[in-house]
Amino acid sequence: MAARAAFSSPLAEELATDVLERFLRYVRVDTQGAYRAAERPSTQKQLDLSRMLVDELRAIGLADAELNDGYSVFATLPGTSDAPVVGLIAHVDTTPDVTGAGVSPIVHEAWDGQPITLPGDARQVLEPAALPALAARVGHDIVTSDGTTLLGADDKAGIAEIMAAVAYLARTEDRPRASIRVAFTVDEEVGRGAEGFDLESFGADVAYTLDGSDLGELEVETFSAASVRVTIRGLSVHPGTAKDKLVNAVKLAAELVRSVPAGRLSPETTEGREGYVHPHRISGSTEEAIVDFIARDHDDELLASHVALLRGLAADVEAREPRAKVDVEVRDSYRNMRPFIEENPRVVEAALEAIRRAGVEPRLAITRGGTDGAVLSAQGLPTPNLFTGGQEYHSVREWASVQDMAAAAATIVELAGVWSESAK
């Protein structure tokens, strides 16, 4: 065992135990969402954690905590000054792509820098040589799953950090703070987290999502995003009498996927601000097959061109096999939040100062994804995204550093203090 790594500040060290205990409790609750569900939330089990959080918020003194009609948990921690009201937001759901049932978190205390083999599936090994962020955290307390599920740090790390910070503020009455509004949403992972979010009732002047990753990062720019569903309808015929009759929707769907550019415009071949089109789900039968794509870009015009590319590839399928019927459905998910954040530079300046006060060097960053904050920013509530300390999201190899999670919780506490200095 290596020597345990230091915490970023005495406050972070004080918060660490509570953050970890909450995190380990929350990740055991299965909150996996579902794509394209008609109802909202997409899975009722998400509300199991939402209701638990309402009870815990009330227990720490936030008496107005409620699960509202928009399926968000709202709660208030009154401030000690007439400062702007600060919102803190995280989401309870986990990705539909990897199972979140039966999560068995493991804490690798004072990690010694050696590869971490996850005991539930020995094929899953966290290799420091391939994971620079992990390699930089020798001595940290590293939390993983057992390798058969995701961990759930996205976004239960954010939830645990908000809860620990708010609990600390609630019991530390002599510490100056702005009023805090807490929100925990459902269905963020399927692009519906801000759906039905009552901004007027929430009442925040500025807000932050706790849904980022690496230590010290403040994300001020997201992708713009759209989801594209291509439905291919063929004709099913008994294979014994199918000659010149069968129109196989499965094969046509496979042709569509193969026609997507491989050396460019894919997540595997892009980085930074480069956009992509990504087939992430295929289902169906001979009669009908569905291919779901996501399209992403930091530039709205380029995003439109990516969607147009998919429309063209779908039309090509129908042109090659005119007996098939091909439909394309496009749904806008969110827009790049950068223009809206730039209209309120104080929301960025305050966060950077809070990160410094928590003993961490801050960094502005972009995300190759989206947040509830992207939607809320476009609706008039500037909402950049703070780090949580989670890594390798949407994977059975997901992990989180306790030291980094504690630094995020300390940042929240410091943020309430920074904003208290901005009395109206």
**Count of other CB atoms within 10 angstroms of residue 74:** 23
Cβ contact 392:131 at 8 Å: yes
H/E stretch holding 230: strand 224-233
Cis peptide before 297 (omega within 30 of 0): no
Secondary-structure percent of the chain, ordered helix, strand, coil, rounded to 5: 35, 20, 45
CA separation for the pair 101, 87 (Å, rounded): 30
93 part of the active site: yes
Helix (H) or strand (E) holding 386: strand 385-386
Cβ atoms within 10 A of the Cβ of 205, count?
A: 20
CA–CA distance, 395 with 124 (Å, rounded to integer):
10
Catalytic residue among 188, 195, 217, 321: 188
- Return d(Cα 282, Cα 349) in angstroms, integer: 44
Residue that is written with structure tokens 């939830």 in the block: 159
Both tokens of residue 149?
Answer: 């599920």
DSSP alpha helix (H) spans, 284-331:
300-320
Active site residue 268: no
For residue 4, the 8-state DSSP code is P
Q: Could you give the CA distance from residue 27 to residue 309 in angstroms, rounded to a whole number?
A: 39
DSSP state of 239: G
Q: What is the gyration radius of the CA atoms in the chain, in angstroms? A: 23
Relative to beta strand 288-297, strand 224-233 is antiparallel
Q: What are phi and psi of 280, to 5 degrees?
A: -115, -5
Q: Report the alpha-carbon distance of residue 226 to residue 306 in Å, rounded.
A: 10
Say whether the peptide bond before residue 155 is cis (omega within 30 degrees of 0). Answer: yes
- Written as six digits, the tokens of 288 are 């009908």
Which member of 30, 93, 161, 217 is catalytic? 93
Nearest CA-CA partner of 358 in 404, 410, 308: 410
Which residues are identified as catalytic?
Answer: 93, 188
